[in-house]
Amino acid sequence: MSAQVRPPTARVCERCDRTERWDDDLEAWQIARDDGEKQVGNPHCIHEWDINGTFNPVTGNANAD
């Protein structure tokens, strides 16, 4: 089996804790809700998404010999 790449479905700003989830229907990031409250963070923040954290986009076996 060859390696597969999967996109992230959630992201959090490292500066203000804004949280977003990917919406497949809208094909866009949407502000996440926690107990009905939007996790907007600071609306004036230049968001620094945790793109190099623990998320691993590679699935499957990369050794296709």
Please give the distance of CA 31 from its chain centroid, rounded to a whole number.
Answer: 11
Average pLDDT over residues 40-60: 82
Question: Which residues, 6+ apart, have CB-to-CB distance to 11 below 8 Å?
Answer: 19, 20, 29, 49, 50, 51
Predicted structure pTM score: 0.69
What pLDDT is stored for residue 43 in this prediction? 83
Question: Is the CB of residue 44 less than 8 Å from the CB of residue 32?
Answer: no
Instruction: From residue 49, give the alpha-carbon distance in Å to each of 3, 14, 42, 45.
Output: 25, 6, 13, 11
What pLDDT is stored for residue 29 in this prediction? 93
